[in-house]
């Protein structure tokens, strides 16, 4: 029997999807796989809610825009310092939307927890922070969902490296949000309509500027570059923003109201490409040299030409895959898809890391 106790940081769209999958599937995991999973606590910025009794109520509260403190919380730091239940291995699951959780993650692993991330912040900050975190948990860190949502991008890359291959270059379209917006504009919708639809479908963050700014892609590029062995600081990766000038800092309601003013300019930019080319938001990560993040004029016949909807494409050129590259593609946005990557990591911990316990 393998027993996991979850302390979850974040109960947004992805966090609620993780909780739903765990609560729906854990009986089957116990019966078929001998894996018992239960929640010790969930948290938002107002504190940690302990136990499982109030978890369904907490999910409904967050869906309505409430805060967990309305149900009675305790400091998350106290939970992370506490001992897990007897016979259980604790896993800190960080599915927070933004960064700012580094100290909490570090506190958890310093107290013996495993760490599962969909939050990219802890792995895409300064090199000093990255090395501090990774050195603490070389065998207790899982982060499949930080890049590609539920797609097997991190595990594919890890498998290449572990088997002795050398990654020479990665080219990727790693934003399901931007892929969806650009393919929607190509299909005839306006830029503002596409952005609003991406928000409604939960492909984009509630404030779509978090995606349109390009910062999310830059963070993914940092994570992949560091897995390649590159020492790189965030400020070394400039990224192109698709947020119209003048709308960067206005209130969200005003941003959405004024976005249609820029539809014509965006459509013109999408159309101003060579014949048989398409505009795509890509990152290029070579083994050496500058990492680029931004719009690229791409041939239709390339792996990135036929992108549709929230699809991600990752193209690996390695020592073994040099004449024909290794391509991983699939939908890379949506709470349930990202949550599936998180839950897969949880089950992987149970089956691999705890197999001798």
CATH of the domain at 51: 3.40.50.720
Are 131 and 10 in the same domain? yes
Show Cβ contacts of residue 67 under 8 Å, excluding neighbours closer than 6 positions: 44, 45, 46, 61
Q: Give residue-wise pLDDT tens across range 1-19.
A: 899 999 999 999 999 999 9
Q: Would you say 245 is a known binding-site residue? A: no
273 — pLDDT class (breaks 50, 70, 90):
confident
Secondary structure tally for the chain: helices H, strands E: 13, 11
pLDDT tens for 116-173 read 999 999 999 999 999 999 887 778 999 999 999 989 999 999 999 999 999 999 999 9
Same domain membership, residue 226 and residue 252: yes
Q: Is 305 annotated as a binding residue?
A: no
The reply, when asked if residue 14 is annotated as ligand binding, is yes
Contact yes or no for 240/294 (Cβ under 8 A)? yes
Pair (321, 207) in one structural domain: yes
10 marked as binding residue: yes
Catalytic residue among 27, 62, 136, 220: 220
99 known member of a binding site: no
CA–CA distance, 108 with 138 (Å, rounded to integer): 14
Are 328 and 340 found together in one domain? no
**Domain check: are 36 and 112 in the same one?**
yes
- Does 24 lie in the same domain as 168? no
- Distance between CA atoms of 328 and 322, rounded to whole angstroms? 15
Number of domains in the chain: 2
Beta bridge partners of 239: 293
Query: Could you tell me if 88 and 196 lie in one domain?
Result: no
Whether residue 231 is found in the same domain as residue 90 = no
Q: Tens digits of per-residue pLDDT, 168-182? A: 999 999 999 999 999
Report the b/e string of 157-168 with b at 16+ CB within 10 A: beebeeeebebb
Is 87 assigned a ligand-binding role in the annotation? no
Residue 143's nearest CA partner among 168, 122, 166 is: 122
Specify whether 279 is located in the same domain as 345.
no
Same domain, 241 and 313: yes
* Size (the chain), residues: 357
Identify the domain containing residue 293 by its residue range.
158-332
Average pLDDT over residues 278-304: 94
- The answer to the question of whether 354 is labelled as a binding residue is no
Confirm if 106 and 76 have CB atoms less than 8 A apart: no
Judge if 104 and 120 occupy the same domain.
Answer: yes
Q: H or E element: which one contains 42? A: strand 35-44
Which pLDDT does position 271 carry in this prediction?
86
Query: Does the annotation count 220 as an active-site position?
Result: yes
Give the C-alpha separation, 186 to 41, whole Å.
Answer: 44
What are the C-alpha distances in Å from 114 to residues 61, 345, 356?
Answer: 28, 11, 16
* Contact by Cβ (8 Å): 283, 291: yes
Q: What is the DSSP letter of 151?
A: S
What pLDDT is stored for residue 100 in this prediction?
A: 87
Identify the CATH number of the domain in which residue 311 sits: 3.30.360.10
Average pLDDT score, the chain? 93
CA distance 149 to 118: 8
For range 231-246, the mean pLDDT:
95
49 is in an annotated binding site: no
* 99-109 average pLDDT score: 92
The pLDDT tens digits for 298-342 are 998 899 988 888 899 999 999 999 999 999 999 888 899 999 999
Q: Distance (Å, rounded) from C-alpha 107 to C-alpha 208?
A: 31
Residues 288, 181 within the same domain: yes
């Amino acid at each position: 029997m393998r027993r996991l106790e979850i302390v979850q940081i974040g109960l947004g769209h992805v966090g609620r999807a993780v909780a739903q999958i765990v609560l729906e599937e854990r009986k089957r995991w116990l019966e078929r796989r001998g894996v018992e999973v239960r929640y010790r606590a969930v948290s938002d910025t107002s504190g940690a809610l302990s136990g499982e009794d109030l978890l369904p109520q907490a999910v409904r509260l967050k869906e309505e825009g409430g805060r967990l403190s309305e149900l009675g919380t305790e400091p998350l730091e106290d939970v992370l310092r506490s001992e897990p239940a007897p016979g259980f291995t604790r896993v800190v699951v960080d599915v927070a939307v933004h960064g700012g959780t580094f100290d909490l993650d570090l506190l958890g692993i310093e107290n013996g927890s495993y760490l599962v991330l969909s939050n990219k912040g802890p792995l895409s900050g300064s090199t000093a922070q990255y090395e501090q975190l990774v050195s603490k948990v070389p065998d207790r860190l899982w982060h499949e969902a930080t890049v590609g949502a539920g797609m097997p991008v991190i595990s594919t890359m890890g498998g290449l490296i572990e088997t002795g291959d050398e990654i020479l270059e990665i080219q990727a379209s790693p934003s399901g949000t931007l892929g969806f917006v650009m393919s929607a504009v190509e299909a005839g919708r306006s830029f503002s309509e596409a952005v609003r639809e991406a928000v409604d479908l939960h492909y984009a963050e509630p404030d779509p500027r978090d995606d349109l700014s390009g910062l999310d892609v830059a963070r993914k590029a940092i994570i992949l570059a560091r897995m390649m062995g590159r020492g790189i600081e965030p400020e070394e990766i400039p990224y192109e923003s698709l947020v119209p000038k003048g709308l960067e800092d206005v209130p969200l309601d005003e941003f959405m109201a004024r976005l249609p003013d820029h539809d014509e300019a965006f459509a013109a930019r999408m159309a101003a490409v060579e014949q048989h080319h398409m505009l795509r938001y890509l990152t290029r990560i070579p083994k050496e040299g500058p990492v680029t993040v931004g719009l690229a004029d791409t041939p239709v016949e390339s792996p990135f030409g036929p992108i549709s909807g929230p699809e991600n494409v990752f193209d690996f050129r390695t020592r073994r895959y040099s004449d024909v590259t290794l391509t991983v593609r699939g939908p890379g946005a949506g709470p349930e898809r990202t949550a599936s990557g998180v839950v897969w990591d949880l089950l992987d911990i149970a089956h691999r890391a705890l197999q001798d316990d």
